[in-house]
Amino acid sequence: METENIQGSCHCQTVNFEVQVDLEKTGTYKCNCSYCGKARNWGVMIKPNQFRWTKGESSLSEYQITPGSQNFYYFCKNCGVRICTRGFIEEIGGDFMSVMVSAFDGISPERLANLRVQLMNGHDNDWFNTPKVFSHL
């Protein structure tokens, strides 16, 4: 598959967005850090210029895990669905957006089941290696 425009939204449809990505080529990730483990994070990492809000940006709430961190998590203020994370991580090339796969609209379960998933060991600060236990992710 090639780069495509994928639409997404929160549960109540107040917030809508669009990403340009080749999901099959880019792949997705799941992480076991303290936050992602609780949120059951399943995301796709893209550059900020591949993402745009199409509706409801003023209805977002922002969360920062650690004061002073460069990573910000965005949720719909109305229904609470997490849409994405915006941040900066030097090791992955700087600025990034991580968009929740669960917020994409219209992607079949069969396609989701066939996406490549990188497992990240944030729990042990060994980010780019698979955790020893990962079936719960």
CATH number at residue 39: 2.170.150.70
What stretches of the chain show up as alpha helix (H) in DSSP? 23-26, 34-39, 109-113
Inside any domain, residue 86 = yes
Inside any domain, residue 14 = yes
Rounded to an integer, what is the distance from CA 12 to the centroid of its chain? 19
Three-class DSSP category at 69:
coil
Inside any domain, residue 135 = no
Phi then psi for residue 128, to 5 deg, are: -100, 25
For the chain, how many structural domains are there in total?
1
Q: From start to end of 42-121, where are the E strands?
A: 42-46, 51-55, 60-63, 72-76, 82-89, 94-100, 117-120
Neighbours of 20 (CB within 10 A): 14
Inside any domain, residue 40 = yes
Which amino acid would we find at residue 27?
Answer: G
Inside any domain, residue 132 = no
Inside any domain, residue 58 = yes
Inside any domain, residue 66 = yes
Per-residue pLDDT of the chain (137 residues; tens, 9 = 90+): 689 999 999 999 999 999 999 999 999 999 888 888 888 899 999 999 999 999 999 999 999 988 888 899 999 999 999 999 999 988 788 999 999 999 999 999 999 999 999 988 777 877 777 778 777 77
Give the β-pairing of 94-100 and 82-89.
antiparallel
**Predicted TM-score of the model (pTM):** 0.89
Inside any domain, residue 136 = no
Separation CA 91–CA 94 (nearest Å): 7
Residue span of the structural domain in which 8 resides = 4-124
